[in-house]
């Protein structure tokens, strides 16, 4: 009865651990990390930690943050999560300009490309939209009620995305579905016209991203999933163009235990103006770089960038337009047996600027801490401290893996168990 439980009172909170998240301002003015209920922002231009100002209801987030995001034009930032609050921030002043209450916990957010709509998904599968008009710079705008936009019936929505041209709105869920909806002229009346369903994943879809180049500005959708694949789609028809199984590259096929041979793709990040996609995988200390051949419509592994020595399995990835840097974070909320509840570790890979054919082979390098922009000051803010016990993050990665599969993978009952569950039910008792 997991769906029914979901409807009535959400899932068991104790076992839930939220991954650390990272987001980078589109022109790298700032970087934000969320871990647990903590939102940490570092101003890269000014070289200083940001103090968030939230006088909407006097408090910051009270429970795990599940989604953070900058708008494409860089003016807005949104954070939301298990405390059912959706906070919209000005990236100029870092004041919370609006704090909306959702009925349910929030699992994903998106901002329309022009910055005029904020959308968020609740854990019951409903996506809501709110208008952000009249907001320029720092001016307050009235708190409005969110209107329902669309719904995935009784499923957890894991990711929301606008297509690069703004025509389509994408929503992915734990039932391995990606819905492509025409984003309407009047979103407050709902988004009724479904363009396609992109179906092919066999486990929950965890993340969505678009690969776009100058030649192909409308872009192609890529999605990552609990089925250990990344897939390439044509969203206007919903057709699956290519599937890239990352198990071999992540070293999973050598594993003896069958269940260890599957590891979920946890995040995807496309490198702007290139055809590269950085992929974070549940058990991989590093990232996999995929390359997308847009004319042949194929997706293949270009390189595995491993992170040596540090037991660093990224939980979230971020990048900006022209910096050539890929930002990564690892960490988790709510580790019970830990004295440090909200630690995270940030790392950066550089060298994504060039586009010569062999740059992928030689280019990307993992920066040392002192090579990261604003090094120690930034790390102190975003990580909570500068150095740690290495095992902490391995424990965190294990806890995250368990939590993610509890939340998103459907329980498979053995035949005996199923029979046992059935026996209690009336419709099995054939009347004599």
Q: Give contact residues for other proteins (rule: CB under 8 A).
A: 1-4, 6-7, 126, 148, 150-151, 153-155, 175-177, 179, 181-182, 184-185, 189-194, 196-197, 199-200, 202, 238, 410-411, 413, 418, 425-428, 430-431
Comparing C-alpha atoms, which of 244, 343, 240 is closest to residue 292? 244
CB 346 within 8 A of CB 42: no
To other proteins, the closest distance from the beta carbon of 97 in angstroms equals 30
Q: Residue for token digits 């991203």?
A: 209
To other proteins, the closest distance from the beta carbon of 249 in angstroms equals 24
Measured CA to CA, the distance from residue 235 to residue 239 in angstroms comes to 7
To other proteins, the closest distance from the beta carbon of 191 in angstroms equals 8
To other proteins, the closest distance from the beta carbon of 167 in angstroms equals 12
Q: Which residue, 55 or 416, is less far from other proteins as judged by CB?
A: 416
To other proteins, the closest distance from the beta carbon of 402 in angstroms equals 20
To other proteins, the closest distance from the beta carbon of 190 in angstroms equals 7
Cβ-based neighbour number of residue 237 at 10 Å: 12
Cβ-based neighbour number of residue 416 at 10 Å: 8
Sequential DSSP letters for 108-171: EEEE-TTS-EEEEEETTSEEEEEE-TT--TT--------EEEEE-TT--EEEEEE-TTSSEEEE
In sequence order, the 6+-apart residues with CB closer than 8 A to the CB of 15 are: 402, 403, 406
Copy the structure tokens of residue 326. 């890929």
To other proteins, the closest distance from the beta carbon of 334 in angstroms equals 26
Q: Which residue, 192 or 385, is less far from other proteins as judged by CB?
A: 192
Q: Which residue, 187 or 364, is less far from other proteins as judged by CB?
A: 187
Q: Which residue, 336 or 411, is less far from other proteins as judged by CB?
A: 411
Q: Which residue, 3 or 273, is less far from other proteins as judged by CB?
A: 3
Q: Which residue, 115 or 190, is less far from other proteins as judged by CB?
A: 190
CB-count burial class (<10 Å; 0-12, 13-18, 19+) for 193: exposed
Which DSSP category does 211 fall into?
E
Q: Which residue, 78 or 127, is less far from other proteins as judged by CB?
A: 127
Copy the structure tokens of residue 333. 């909320």
**Hey, which residues does 131 pair with through a beta bridge?**
117
To other proteins, the closest distance from the beta carbon of 120 in angstroms equals 16
Q: Residue for token digits 């910055």?
A: 115
Q: Which residue, 83 or 175, is less far from other proteins as judged by CB?
A: 175
For the stretch 4-20, what's the b/e string if a residue is b when 16 or more beta carbons lie within 10 angstroms of its beta carbon?
A: eebeeeeeeeeebbbbb
Q: Which residue, 150 or 396, is less far from other proteins as judged by CB?
A: 150
To other proteins, the closest distance from the beta carbon of 18 in angstroms equals 25
Copy the structure tokens of residue 271. 């490198």
Copy the structure tokens of residue 247. 């198990």
3-state SS, residue 415: helix
């Amino acid at each position: 009865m997991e769906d029914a439980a979901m409807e009535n009172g959400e899932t068991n909170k104790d076992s839930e651990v939220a991954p650390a998240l990272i987001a980078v301002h589109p022109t790298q003015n700032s970087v934000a990390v969320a871990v647990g209920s903590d939102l940490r922002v570092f101003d890269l231009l000014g070289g200083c930690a940001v103090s968030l100002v939230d006088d909407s209801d006097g408090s910051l987030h009270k429970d795990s943050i599940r989604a953070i995001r900058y708008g494409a034009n860089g003016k807005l930032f949104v954070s939301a999560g298990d405390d059912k609050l959706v906070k919209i921030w000005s990236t100029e002043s870092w004041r919370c300009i609006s704090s909306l209450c959702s009925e349910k916990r929030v699992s994903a957010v998106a901002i329309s490309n022009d910055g005029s709509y904020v959308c968020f998904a609740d854990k019951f599968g409903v996506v809501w939209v709110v208008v952000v008009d009249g907001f320029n710079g720092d001016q307050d705008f009235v708190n409005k009620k969110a209107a329902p936009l669309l719904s995935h019936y009784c499923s957890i929505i894991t990711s929301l995305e606008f297509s690069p041209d703004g025509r389509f709105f994408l929503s992915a869920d734990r039932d391995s579905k990606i819905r492509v909806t025409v984003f309407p002229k009047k979103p407050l009346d709902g988004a009724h016209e479904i363009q396609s369903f992109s179906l092919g994943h066999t486990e929950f879809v965890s993340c969505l991203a678009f690969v776009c180049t100058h030649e192909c500005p409308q872009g192609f959708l890529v999605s990552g999933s609990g089925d250990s694949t990344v897939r390439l789609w044509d969203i206007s028809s919903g057709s699956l163009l290519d599937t890239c199984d990352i198990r071999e590259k992540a070293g999973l096929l050598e594993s003896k235990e069958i269940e260890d041979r599957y590891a979920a793709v946890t995040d995807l990040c496309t490198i702007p103006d290139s055809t590269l996609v950085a992929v974070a995988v549940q058990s991989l200390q590093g990232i996999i770089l995929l390359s997308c051949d847009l004319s042949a419509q194929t997706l293949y592994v270009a390189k595995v960038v491993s992170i040596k020595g540090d037991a660093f399995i990224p939980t979230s990835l971020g990048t900006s337009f022209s910096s050539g840097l890929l930002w990564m974070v690892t960490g988790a909320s709510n580790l019970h047996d830990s004295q440090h509840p909200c630690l995270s570790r940030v790392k950066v890979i550089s060298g994504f600027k060039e586009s010569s054919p062999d740059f992928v082979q030689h280019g990307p390098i993992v920066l040392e801490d002192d090579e990261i922009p604003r090094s120690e000051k930034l790390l102190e803010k975003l990580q909570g401290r500068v150095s740690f016990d290495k095992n902490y993050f391995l424990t965190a990665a294990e806890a995250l893996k368990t939590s993610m599969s509890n939340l998103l993978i459907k329980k498979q009952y053995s035949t005996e168990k199923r029979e046992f569950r059935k026996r209690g039910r009336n419709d099995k008792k054939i009347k004599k």
